[in-house]
Amino acid sequence: MGPREHIAFLAGSANRVRILETLREQPHRQCGLTEACNLSRSTVHRALDGLESRGWVEQTDGKYRLTIGGDLVLSHYEALESAIDRIDEWGTFLNRLGDLADTLPLAALSKATLVTSTRENPHAAATHFTEQFRTATTETFRGIASVVSPRFTEAAQPLITSGTDMELLIDESVLDASSTHYSSELEKGYSLDNFALYCYPAELNFGLAIFDERVLINAHDERGVLRECLDSTDETLRSWAQDVYDDHRTAARRAKHLAEPE
């Protein structure tokens, strides 16, 4: 019998999972399980037969107890259920992140907040991102931007003028648009000692804002409109975001002053 058959057996009845969870708490006789799980004697008997034959429970001195293997199976099954719940809840956000979502630590999402733009509030994600940016207190900032937004540029001014050590990574299309439409702001950024701009050689389709104790992850639609903003102070997510930034930063080049020759 292969792994899929075992998974199907466990997933095929919530009663089997309930019995494992009950035995994790303490050993039980069969009659005690019927009462603790509020199940019929025949249901418990059939479930125990299947669980025992797989080595997930064992009987000692008339009591059934969870084996080490059974405890591991239950833990991984619960983790799978939890991952599916998160993917179901965060599916649209994860799909918009694309390949980047493959490495996202799903378990850490339980400690994160997802702000989603809706028909009733189409600017919810952008407003949240802007507000967090405007009110941030941090010694360092590392960011990735895949769109040009004067609103976000304005929100970043308090950090820029406070002397915060800032690095921003953009792609060629964002650099070109910034050079065309916001040349004065770009020139001002080049003149600051605490601000460094880097250009990534491929198209970017997500945004990151990494502060000392907070990370914001932005997902955009096909038109570049910010649709979801993940907000978290979880160190696991922040560390993941820093790794993503570092990987992209390694492949990027320092953006040059407009008047500086290539």
Residue range 5-50, pLDDT digits in tens: 989 999 999 999 999 999 999 999 999 999 999 999 999 999 999 9
Helices 14-25 and 41-53 pack at an angle, to 10 degrees, of 80
Cα distance between residue 113 and residue 27, in whole Å: 39
- For residue range 226-251, list pLDDT tens digits in order: 999 999 999 999 999 999 999 999 99
Establish if 94 belongs to a structural domain: no
Same domain, 112 and 66: no
pTM of the prediction? 0.73
Domain boundary among 75, 90, 119: 75
Same domain, 117 and 35: no
DSSP string across 13-56: -HHHHHHHHHHHHS-B-HHHHHHHTT--HHHHHHHHHHHHHTTS
Establish if 98 belongs to a structural domain: no
Same domain, 121 and 242: yes
Same domain, 35 and 117: no
Establish if 62 belongs to a structural domain: yes
Same domain, 120 and 69: no
Same domain, 233 and 170: yes
Burial of 52 (0-12, 13-18, 19+ CB in 10 A): middle
- Give the CA radius of gyration of the chain: 26
Same domain, 64 and 112: no
Same domain, 69 and 140: no
Same domain, 39 and 157: no
Burial of 23 (0-12, 13-18, 19+ CB in 10 A): buried
Q: What is the pLDDT of residue 178?
A: 78
**CATH number for the domain including 53?**
1.10.10.10
Domain boundary among 26, 60, 75: 75
For residue 218, give the 3-state DSSP assignment: strand
Establish if 25 belongs to a structural domain: yes
In the chain, where do the E strands start and end? 57-60, 63-66, 113-116, 140-144, 165-171, 195-200, 206-210, 215-220, 226-232, 253-254
Cα distance between residue 110 and residue 86, in whole Å: 8
Cα distance between residue 89 and residue 225, in whole Å: 21
**CATH number for the domain including 220?**
3.30.870.10
Q: Return the DSSP state at 237.
A: H
Q: Return the DSSP state at 197.
A: E
Establish if 209 belongs to a structural domain: yes
Question: Do β-strands 226-232 and 215-220 pair in parallel, antiparallel, or remain unpaired?
Answer: antiparallel
Q: Residue 189's pLDDT band (boundaries 50, 70, 90)?
A: low
Q: What is the pLDDT of residue 258?
A: 47
Evaluate if residue 183 carries a pLDDT over 90.
no
Cα distance between residue 18 and residue 11, in whole Å: 11
Domain count for the chain, please give it.
2
Mean pLDDT over residues 100-113, rounded? 88
Same domain, 172 and 214: yes
Establish if 240 belongs to a structural domain: yes
Residues of the domain holding 231: 104-254
Cα distance between residue 219 and residue 92, in whole Å: 9
Q: Which residue has the higher pLDDT, 205 or 157?
A: 205
Establish if 92 belongs to a structural domain: no
Domain boundary among 75, 93, 113: 75
